[in-house]
C-alpha cells in the first residue's frame, strides 16, 4: 500500500501536475459503411484525488474514450491521434508490454456487466489471485491467497475463505460487482476507471455499491473516472463533469455548476429530460408547478424539440383531477401465481396482490427484479394463468373468460414490451406488423386497414413511408413507437407497458413518455406502467404500487408515496434515486 | 452434479431400448424370410440356415424374439459367425486393435486440430487463417475411402514412407497412416469448430476484463480463451465418435487392419447378415456409452453444470 | 491528502455551438430500398467469390446429370470389351478404360445423375422429417417435446451410414435409388430436428411472439408466421450440407457393396471395383474420386458461404 509518510511530501508537487491529461484524442472504427470516428477531439484533465464523470447517451463516445485510455478498444477500434498522458507518460504511444504493466498496476478498470465480465469456468479466487500475481503485489501461494482474502473482505464479502472457491454464477449481481471493484483496486492503482459500474444492477443495490466505491476510493486516495448515462448520478458522485455528444465534448467543468447553469443546448436537453433530476426537483420544490417555475429560472430556454419532463408531469396533473371520479378500468383482487419448479418445489411469484386502476389514469407497478411485477402484467394480458384471485376488466373476470369472449376482450388490452429489438418480427415490414391486429380481428377491408395503418403512424409521429420498411432500419425509440402503434390498432382501452422505456436513451425516453402522455389525453387510455425506476414514476404516474417479493408493500397516490413513504423498502427505493445530495431549485 | 448424472442415465435407458429394438426390427420385422434376405445374393448351406433360424427363434412372436435377443446381448452371447466362431470371441480379439487405432486417430485430430484452429482463430483474416479454412473445407468434402486410397497410393506406393497394409499384430508404426486417414475429416471439423469458438470467446467481455487486470496476452490465450473454447469441441467429440466408427470400418478394410471395423467390413462384403447385426448392435451400445461419458466430461469442464444453484 | 479542488484548467467550458451542432432527437434515417435478413444475406452472398464458384459448379453438375447426352455419346455399359481393360486414353475415350473395359469418362458422366438423385431425395426426406419433428418438439414443448426428442435420440444413436448398411443388407433384393435414399434419410434427420428445435426455443420467447399471443393469434399461426420464418436460417445451412453428406453416404454404401447394384452407374461402385488395381492403374480409381469430391465440395462450399451470410453476429457488425 502507499507509504503515507513520504506521500504527504511528494503530494504537494504532484498536486500541481495532472494525473491524467487527454489532448485532442481521436478514435475510429472500421465498419462496413466505411470509417467511423467515435471520439473526435476530446480534451480532459484530471488531478490526483479528484473524481470525474463522463456523461452521454449511447453513441456519444464516452465508453470508447474510457477504453482508449487503457487501449482495450473492441474489434477494429484504433487511436487515430492525440495524446493520453498519465503522469507525463503518453499511453497512446506505449508498446504492448508497457500497456500490460500500466493496466492493473497504475490504472484499474471496473466494467459494466458483472455477469459477462467474469470467466464462468474459473473460480472467483482464481480470478482474483490472477490479478494479484500479474501486478506483482504478492508472490508465493500463501501470500497471494492471503492478499486475495483481503481483497474480498475489503469488497465487503464475509466468509471470504469459502467464497474464494466458488464460481461467478453462484454469486448475486451485487456481489459480483463488488468482486470486480476489488479486483480493479487490488494493486492500489492511481486511477480507477469505472464504466457504468451499476447500470446492470438492481436499483437498491446500485446505491450501496456506489457508496462502497466512493468510500474505498477515498480511503485509498484513488482518482476516479466514471462513465455514466445518468446526469443526476454523475453530478452527485463526481466533482468534475464532462458531457459528450457525438464524439465531442460539449460542456465540462465543476458538476454542480453545470447542473445549476447548463449552457450548451445539449446539456440543457439532458437536464430537462433526466428523470432523476426531474423527480428530485419536484421533491425539493414541493410541487410540480413550483418545479416547472424553478426550471425556467435555472435552466434558461430549453432548445427546440427537447422534452421537458416536468412540463409533461404538469400537464398530467389536470387529467388526474378529472379522473378521480371515474370507475375503475381494472380491478385486481387477491391475485396469486405459484410456479412449480422441478426439483425445488413451489415458487410464489405473486402473492395476494390487489389494486384498482381508475379509467384514464396511470398506475405504476414498481419493483426490482424478482418482485413479480412482470408476472402481474402477464396475467393481466392472459399470457399466464393466475393460480387464484380475480382480474376484472370491463366487468368480466378474466379467469372465467374463454374462447371468442376472450378473443374480444384481448382487443381491449394491449401490451408494449421492454426490448425494442425483440418486440417486432424482423421478417415482417412495419405496415404488416401494425396491421396484424386488424387482420387477426377481421377489421375492415384491405384499403381501410391501410388507412388505419397510416393513421396510426401519424399518431406516433412517424413518416408514412416507413410502412414498407423493416425493423432493422429503425432505432430503438422508433421501434417502440411502432410497438405503441400496433398496440393502439384496435382502439384498446388499456395499455400494459412493461418497462416500455427502460431500454431507451434518456432523451428518446423523454420523447416516448411525452408521446404516451399525449396519447392518453387524446384517446382516454388507461395505463398500467411497470418499471423499476421510481424517478420515471414521479413524472408519469398517478398512483403507485410498490412490489417486493411478490407482495404489494405500499400503494398510494404518487404524491403520497413520494412525500410520505411509510415502508422501509419504499424509503430505500426513494433513496436510491440518484441526486439525493443535489440541491435543485430550492 | 449427481442430479445431472442420474438424469442423463435415466434418459439413456429408453434410448438404449429403443435403439436395440430398432436394429432388431429393421432386420427381423421386414417382409419376407429374414434369414434368406440377410444373405443377399449369396446362398449359404442349408445347415447354416437351419442353425440360424433356431438361433434367432423365428418361430416365436416378434416381441419375445427381441427380448431374447436383448437378453443374449447383455449376457455377452452375440451369436456365431458364418464360420461358426462365436462373435464375442471375434470381438475380444479385434477390439484392442481398433482401440489403438481409434485412440491414435483421436490424438492426432485433437492435437493438430485444436492447435491449428486456435492459431487460425487468433489470427483471423491472415494468410494462415485463409489457408486453414480452404484446406479444411476440401478435407471435409473428401469421402473417407477416397482419402484412404489416395494416402495409400501416395504415401504407401509412390513414396514408400509407410506400408500399404498393416502387418499381423498391428504394431503402432503400421497404424500411423490409417490413423491419420481416419482422423482426417474429424480433424478438419475440429479446426473449424475451434476457430469459430476461439473467435467467439475472444470477443467476450471477460477477456477484455482479464486484459484490464494487467494480464499478458500469453496468459490470456491459454487460460481464458482456449479453456473456454474447448467446451463446444468436447461436445463435438460425441458426434465424432459415430463418424469414427463408420470411418474405421472403411479404413480398416482398406489397410487390412485386423480390427473390429475390418471384420464388419468383410462381413458386409460377404453378405454375412447376422454378424453385421451383432457388430452394429455392439458398436451402437458403445456409442451410447461414449455419449454419456462426453456429457459427464462436459459437466466437469463447465462449473455452471457441476454446481447448479 | 491531495486537494481535489478545481484547478484553473478545469473551469466551466462550453463548446461553441457551430462545432457541436444538435441533431433532432431520434430522426428517421431510412434510405434506399427496404432491407431485411434475407435481402441483406443475398447482398452479402453476391459479394463472395466462393458463392459464385460453388453455384457455377452446382449448376454444371446439375446440367451433366440432366443431360448426359450433351457430354458423351458413348453409352456407359455397352461396348465394354475386356481387351481394353485398364487401357489409357484413346480417340473418343479421353479418360481411358476401367477394368471391365468400359469408358471411364462416360461412366463418370452417367454416374452424376445417380448421385444427385440420391442426394435430393435424402435431403427432401431429412428436411421434411427434421422440420416437422423439430418444430413440434420445440414449439409445443411439454410431453410432445419429451416424446419427439426421445424418438430423435433413438434414431440419432445409430450413425446413419451404419443403419443404412444394416437396412440394405436386409433389403438386398430391393437395391435401387429410392430404397437407398430412404435407408439413408431415415436415420439422418435427427440432426436437422435438433438444430431447428434449439433455434425455435430461442425464438419462441421473443417479445414479438408474446405480442402476437396477446393479440389472440392462434398457436399454430404463430408457429407458422412468426416462429418458423425466424428459425429457419440454420436449417437452410444444415440442409445444404446434408445434401453433400447424402452423396457421400450413397458412394460409401456402393463402395461397401450394399449400395446400388453394379449395373447402375455409381461413382461408389466404380471406385470399389477399381481398388484392386490401385497399384497398376490408379487412374481408374482416382478419376471417379475426383468427380465425387468436386461435387461434394461444391455443396459444402455453398453451405458454408450461406452460413456466413446468415450469421446474426456478422449481421450485427454490419
* CB A366, CB A372: distance < 8 Å: no
Query: A421 to chain B nearest CA, in Å?
Result: 21
A contact test, residue of C8, C29, C32, C34 with most A CBs within 10 A: C34
DSSP strands (E only) in A408-503: 413-416, 494-498
- CB-CB: which of A49, A305, A436 is closest to C215? A436
**Residue in this structure with the C-alpha cell 438386398, named with its chain if needed:** C172
How do beta strands A494-498 and A526-531 pair? parallel
User: A3-17, A210-224, A433-447, C81-95 — which is least confidently predicted?
Assistant: A3-17
Banded pLDDT at A489 (limits 50, 70, 90): very high
Tell me which chain B residue has its CA closest to the CA of residue C152.
B15
Confidence category of residue C317, pLDDT binned at 50, 70, 90:
very low
Contact A169 B206 (CB under 8 A): no
> Looking at residue A296, what is its pLDDT?
64
Instruction: Please tell me the distance from the alpha carbon of residue C139 to that of residue C149, in angstroms, as a whole number.
Output: 12
- Check: CB of residue C193 under 8 Å from CB of residue C153: no
Neighbours of B113 (CB within 10 A): 24
Give CA A55 to chain center in angstroms.
13
A20-31 and A328-341 as β-strands: parallel, antiparallel, unpaired? unpaired
Q: Which positions in chain C touch B280 (Cβ < 8 Å)? A: 158, 162-163, 165-166
Best of A104, A119, A132 to mutate (most B CBs within 10 Å, chain B): A119
Q: Is C37 on the interface with B (CB under 8 A)?
A: no
CA distance A244 to A234: 13
Nearest Cβ partner for A11 among C2, C9, C22: C2
Element (H, E) at A560: helix A558-563
Higher-pLDDT residue of B266 and C314 is B266
| Cα–Cα dist A70/A499, whole Å | 35
Nearest residue, CB atoms, A423 vs list C15, C38, C208: C208
Output phi, psi for A135, to 5 deg.
-100, 10
Q: Which three cell numbers stand for residue A532?
A: 423499476
What's the rounded Cα separation, in Å, for the pair A562 and A540? 13
Alpha-carbon gap, residue A501 to A416, rounded angstroms: 10
List the grid coordinates of B92. 475380444
User: What value of ipTM does the predicted structure carry?
Assistant: 0.86
Look up residue A388 and give its DSSP letter.
E
Instruction: Give pLDDT, residue A519.
Output: 92
Give the DSSP letter string of A458-471: HHTT--GGGGGS-G
Closest by CA to C155, choosing from B242, B267, B76, is: B242
Q: Which of B206, B214, B231 sits opposite A100 (nearest CB)?
A: B214
Candidate from A2-11, A328-337, B120-129, B271-280 with smallest mean pLDDT? A2-11
Residue A364 pairs with which residues in a beta bridge?
A: A529, A544
Q: Are A364 and A541 in contact (CB under 8 A)?
A: yes
pLDDT at position A15 is 67
User: C1, C2, C143: which to substitute to probe chain A, counting the most A Cβ within 10 Å?
Assistant: C2
Q: pLDDT tens per residue, chain B (309 residues)?
A: 777 778 888 888 888 888 888 887 777 766 556 666 666 566 667 777 777 666 666 666 777 777 877 787 777 777 776 667 787 888 888 888 898 899 999 999 999 999 999 999 999 989 999 999 999 999 998 999 899 988 888 888 778 777 777 777 767 778 888 999 999 999 999 999 999 999 999 989 999 999 999 999 999 999 999 999 998 998 898 889 888 988 998 898 888 888 888 888 888 777 676 777 788 888 888 888 888 888 888 888 888 887 764
Residue C235: in which H helix or E strand, if any? helix C233-256
Locus of grid cell 390498432 = A489
Helices B273-301, C160-170: crossing angle, 10 deg rounding: 170
Tell the burial category of A344 from Cβ atoms under 10 Å away from its Cβ (0-12, 13-18, 19+).
exposed
Q: How far apart are CA A367 and CA A417, in angstroms?
A: 16
> In chain C, what residues touch A251 (CB-CB under 8 Å)?
12-15
pLDDT at A300 over 60: no
> A571 is written with which cell numbers?
424509503
Alpha-carbon distance of A67 to B272, in angstroms, equals 68
* DSSP for B124-176, written as a single string: TTSHHHHHHHHHHHHHHHS-HHHHHHHHIIIIIIIS-SS-SSPPTT--HHHHH
Give the chain C residue whose CA is nearest to the CA of A496. C214
Quick one: pLDDT at residue A109?
A: 95
CA-to-CA separations, C110 to A303, C94, C268, C290, in angstroms, rounded: 77, 15, 13, 15
What is the full DSSP assignment across A107-150?
A: EEEE-S-TTTTS-TTS-HHHHHHHHHHHTTS--SHHHHHHHHHH
Query: Chain B contacts of A170, Cβ < 8 Å?
Result: 307, 309
Q: Report d(CA B289, CA B284) in Å as an integer.
A: 9
Distance from the Cα of A100 to chain B's closest Cα (Å) equals 5
Q: Which region among A251-265, A435-449, B253-267, C74-88 has the lowest average model confidence (pLDDT)?
A: C74-88
- CB contact under 8 Å between C20 and A245, yes or no, is yes
Of C256 and C195, which is predicted with more confidence?
C195
Angle at CA of residue C208, ends C139 and A457, nearest 5°: 155
Q: Which helix (H) or strand (E) holds A338?
A: strand A328-341
CA A560 to chain centre: 25
The predicted-structure confidence for A232-291, as pLDDT tens digits, reads as follows 899 889 999 999 999 999 999 999 889 888 999 999 889 888 888 888 778 777 777 777
Beta-bridged to residue C90, according to DSSP, are C93
Q: Give chain A's mean pLDDT.
A: 88
A119–B224: do the CB atoms touch at under 8 Å?
yes
Return the HEC string of A176-215: HHHHHHHHHHCCCCCEEEEECCCCCCCHHHHHHHHHHHHH
Q: Give the residue on C whose Cα is nearest the Cα of B37.
A: C170
**Which of the other chains make 3 or more beta carbon contacts under 8 angstroms with chain B?**
A, C
In the predicted model, is pLDDT for residue A585 greater than 70? no
Question: Looking at residues A51-75, what average pLDDT do you find?
Answer: 93
Strand, helix or coil for residue A414:
strand
State residue A239's pLDDT score.
Answer: 92
Confidence of residue C314 (pLDDT cuts 50, 70, 90): low
3-state SS class at C157: coil
* pLDDT reading at A8 higher than 60: no
Nearest neighbour of B143 by CB, restricted to C167, C170, C251: C251
Amino acid at each position: 500500500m502507499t507509504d503515507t509518510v513520504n506521500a504527504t511530501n511528494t503530494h504537494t508537487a504532484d498536486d500541481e501536475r495532472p494525473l491524467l491529461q487527454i489532448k485532442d484524442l481521436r478514435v475510429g472504427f472500421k465498419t462496413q459503411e466505411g470509417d467511423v470516428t467515435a471520439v473526435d477531439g476530446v480534451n480532459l484533465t484530471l488531478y490526483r484525488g479528484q473524481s470525474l464523470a463522463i456523461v452521454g447517451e449511447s453513441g456519444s463516445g464516452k465508453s470508447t474514450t474510457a477504453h482508449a485510455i487503457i487501449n482495450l478498444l473492441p474489434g477494429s477500434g484504433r487511436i487515430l491521434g492525440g495524446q493520453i498522458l498519465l503522469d507525463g507518460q503518453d499511453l497512446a504511444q506505449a508498446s504492448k508490454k508497457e500497456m500490460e504493466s500500466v493496466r492493473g498496476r497504475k490504472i484499474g478498470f471496473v466494467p459494466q456487466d458483472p455477469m459477462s465480465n467474469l470467466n464462468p469456468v474459473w473460480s472467483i479466487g482464481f480470478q482474483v489471485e490472477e490479478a494479484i500475481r500479474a501486478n506483482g503485489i504478492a508472490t508465493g501461494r500463501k501470500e497471494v491467497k492471503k492478499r486475495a482474502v483481503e481483497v474480498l473482505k475489503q469488497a465487503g464479502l464475509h466468509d471470504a475463505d469459502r467464497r474464494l472457491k466458488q464460481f461467478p454464477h453462484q454469486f448475486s449481481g451485487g456481489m459480483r460487482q463488488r468482486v470486480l471493484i476489488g479486483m480493479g483496486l487490488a494493486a492500489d492503482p492511481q486511477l480507477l476507471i469505472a464504466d457504468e459500474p451499476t447500470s446492470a444492477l438492481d436499483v437498491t443495490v446500485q446505491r450501496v455499491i456506489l457508496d462502497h466505491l466512493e468510500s474505498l476510493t477515498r480511503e485509498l486516495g484513488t482518482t476516479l473516472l466514471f462513465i455514466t448515462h445518468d446526469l443526476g448520478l454523475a453530478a452527485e458522485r463526481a466533482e468534475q463533469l464532462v458531457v459528450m455528444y457525438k464524439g465531442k465534448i460539449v460542456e465540462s467543468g465543476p458538476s454542480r455548476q453545470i447542473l445549476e447553469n447548463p449552457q450548451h443546448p445539449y446539456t440543457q436537453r439532458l437536464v430537462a429530460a433526466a428523470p432523476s433530476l426531474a423527480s428530485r426537483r419536484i421533491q425539493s420544490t414541493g410541487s410540480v408547478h413550483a418545479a416547472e417555475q424553478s426550471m425556467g429560472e435555472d435552466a434558461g430556454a430549453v432548445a427546440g424539440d427537447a422534452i421537458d419532463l416536468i412540463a409533461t408531469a404538469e400537464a398530467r396533473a389536470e387529467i388526474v383531477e378529472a379522473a378521480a371520479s371515474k370507475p375503475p378500468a381494472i380491478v385486481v383482487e387477491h391475485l396469486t401465481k405459484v410456479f412449480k419448479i422441478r426439483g425445488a418445489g413451489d415458487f410464489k411469484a405473486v402473492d395476494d396482490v390487489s389494486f384498482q386502476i381508475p379509467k384514464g389514469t396511470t398506475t405504476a407497478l414498481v419493483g426490482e427484479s424478482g418482485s413479480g411485477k412482470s408476472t402481474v402484467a402477464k396475467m393481466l394480458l392472459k399470457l399466464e394463468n393466475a393460480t387464484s384471485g380475480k382480474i376484472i376488466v370491463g366487468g368480466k373476470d378474466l379467469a372465467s373468460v374463454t374462447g371468442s369472449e376472450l378473443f374480444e376482450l384481448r382487443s381491449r388490452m394491449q401490451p408494449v414490451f421492454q426490448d425494442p429489438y425483440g418486440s417486432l418480427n424482423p421478417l415482417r415490414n412495419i405496415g404488416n406488423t401494425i396491421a396484424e391486429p386488424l387482420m387477426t380481428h377481421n377489421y375492415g377491408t384491405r384499403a381501410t386497414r391501410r388507412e388505419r395503418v397510416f393513421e396510426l403512424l401519424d399518431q406516433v409521429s412517424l413518416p408514412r413511408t416507413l410502412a414498407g420498411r423493416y425493423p432493422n432500419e429503425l432505432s430503438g425509440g422508433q421501434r417502440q413507437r411502432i410497438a405503441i402503434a400496433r398496440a393502439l390498432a384496435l382502439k384498446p382501452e388499456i395499455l400494459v407497458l412493461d418497462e416500455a422505456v427502460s431500454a431507451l436513451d434518456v432523451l428518446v425516453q423523454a420523447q416516448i413518455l411525452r408521446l404516451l402522455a399525449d396519447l392518453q389525453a387524446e384517446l382516454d387510455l388507461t395505463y398500467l406502467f411497470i418499471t423499476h425506476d421510481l424517478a420515471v414514476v414521479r413524472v408519469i404516474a398517478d398512483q403507485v404500487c410498490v412490489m417486493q417479493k411478490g407482495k404489494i408493500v405500499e400503494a398510494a397516490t404518487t404524491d403520497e408515496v413520494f412525500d410520505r413513504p411509510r415502508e422501509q423498502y419504499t424509503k430505500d427505493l426513494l433513496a436510491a434515486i440518484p441526486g439525493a445530495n443535489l440541491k435543485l431549485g430550492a | 452434479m449427481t442430479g445431472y448424472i442420474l438424469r442423463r442415465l435415466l434418459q439413456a435407458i429408453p434410448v438404449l431400448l429403443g435403439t436395440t429394438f430398432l436394429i432388431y426390427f429393421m432386420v427381423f420385422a421386414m417382409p419376407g424370410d429374414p434369414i434368406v434376405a440377410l444373405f443377399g445374393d449369396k446362398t449359404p448351406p442349408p445347415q447354416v440356415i437351419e442353425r440360424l433360424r433356431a438361433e434367432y427363434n423365428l418361430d416365436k412372436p416378434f416381441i419375445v424374439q427381441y427380448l431374447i435377443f436383448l437378453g443374449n446381448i447383455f449376457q455377452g452371447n452375440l451369436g456365431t459367425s458364418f464360420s461358426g466362431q462365436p462373435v464375442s470371441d471375434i470381438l475380444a480379439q479385434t477390439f484392442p486393435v481398433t482401440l489403438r487405432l481409434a485412440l491414435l486417430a483421436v490424438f492426432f485430430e485433437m492435437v493438430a486440430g485444436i492447435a491449428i484452429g486456435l492459431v487460425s482463430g487468433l489470427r483471423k483474416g491472415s494468410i494462415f487463417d485463409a489457408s486453414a479454412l480452404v484446406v479444411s473445407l476440401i478435407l471435409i468434402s473428401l469421402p473417407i475411402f477416397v482419402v484412404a486410397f489416395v494416402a495409400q497410393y501416395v504415401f504407401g506406393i509412390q513414396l514408400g514412407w509407410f506400408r500399404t497394409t498393416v502387418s499381423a499384430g498391428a504394431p503402432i508404426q503400421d497404424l500411423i497412416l490409417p490413423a491419420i486417414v481416419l482422423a482426417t475429416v474429424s480433424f478438419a471439423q475440429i479446426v473449424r469448430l475451434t476457430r469459430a469458438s476461439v473467435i467467439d470467446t475472444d470477443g467476450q467481455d471477460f477477456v477484455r476484463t482479464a486484459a484490464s487486470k494487467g494480464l499478458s496476452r500469453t496468459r490470456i490465450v491459454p487460460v481464458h480463451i482456449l479453456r473456454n473454447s474447448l467446451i463446444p469441441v468436447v461436445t463435438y467429440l460425441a458426434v465424432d465418435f459415430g463418424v469414427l466408427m463408420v470411418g474405421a470400418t472403411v479404413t480398416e478394410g482398406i489397410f487390412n487392419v485386423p480390427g473390429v471395423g475390418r471384420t464388419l467390413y468383410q462381413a458386409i462384403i460377404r453378405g454375412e447378415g447376422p454378424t453385421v447385426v451383432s457388430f452394429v448392435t455392439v458398436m451402437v451400445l458403445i456409442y451410447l456409452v461414449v455419449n454419456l461419458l462426453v456429457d459427464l466430461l462436459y459437466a466437469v469442464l463447465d462449473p455452471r453444470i457441476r454446481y447448479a444453484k | 491528502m491531495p486537494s481535489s479542488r478545481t484547478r484553473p484548467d478545469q473551469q466551466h467550458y462550453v463548446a461553441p455551438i457551430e462545432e457541436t451542432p444538435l441533431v433532432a432527437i431520434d430522426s428517421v434515417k431510412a434510405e434506399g430500398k427496404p432491407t431485411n435478413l434475407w435481402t441483406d444475406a443475398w447482398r452479402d452472398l453476391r459479394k463472395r467469390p466462393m458463392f459464385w464458384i460453388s453455384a457455377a459448379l452446382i449448376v454444371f453438375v446439375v446440367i451433366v446429370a440432366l443431360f448426359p447426352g450433351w457430354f458423351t455419346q458413348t453409352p456407359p455399359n455397352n461396348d465394354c470389351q475386356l481387351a481394353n481393360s485398364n487401357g489409357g486414353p484413346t480417340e473418343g475415350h479421353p479418360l481411358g478404360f476401367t477394368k471391365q473395359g468400359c469408358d471411364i469418362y462416360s461412366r463418370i458422366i452417367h454416374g452424376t445423375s445417380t448421385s444427385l438423385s440420391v442426394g435430393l431425395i435424402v435431403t427432401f426426406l431429412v428436411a421434411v422429417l427434421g422440420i416437422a419433428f423439430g418444430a413440434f418438439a420445440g414449439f409445443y414443448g411439454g410431453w410432445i417435446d419429451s416424446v419427439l426428442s426421445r424418438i430423435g435420440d433413438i434414431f440419432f444413436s445409430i450413425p446413419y451410414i451404419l443403419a443404412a448398411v444394416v437396412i440394405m443388407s436386409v433389403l438386398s433384393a430391393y437395391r435401387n435409388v429410392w430404397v437407398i435414399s430412404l435407408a439413408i434419410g431415415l436415420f439422418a434427420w435427427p440432426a436437422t430436428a435438433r438444430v431447428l428445435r434449439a433455434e425455435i426455443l430461442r425464438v419462441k420467447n421473443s417479445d414479438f411472439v408474446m405480442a402476437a399471443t396477446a393479440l389472440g393469434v392462434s398457436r399454430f399461426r404463430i408457429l407458422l408466421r412468426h416462429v418458423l420464418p425466424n428459425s429457419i436460417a440454420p436449417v437452410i445451412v444444415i440442409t445444404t450440407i446434408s445434401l453433400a453428406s447424402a452423396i457421400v453416404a450413397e458412394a460409401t454404401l456402393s463402395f461397401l457393396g450394399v449400395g446400388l447394384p453394379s449395373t447402375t452407374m455409381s461413382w461408389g461402385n466404380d471406385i470399389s471395383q477399381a481398388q484392386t488395381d490401385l497399384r497398376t492403374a490408379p487412374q481408374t480409381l482416382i478419376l471417379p474420386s475426383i468427380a465425387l469430391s468436386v461435387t461434394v465440395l461444391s455443396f459444402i462450399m455453398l453451405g458454408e458461404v450461406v452460413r456466413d451470410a446468415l450469421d446474426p453476429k456478422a449481421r450485427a457488425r454490419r
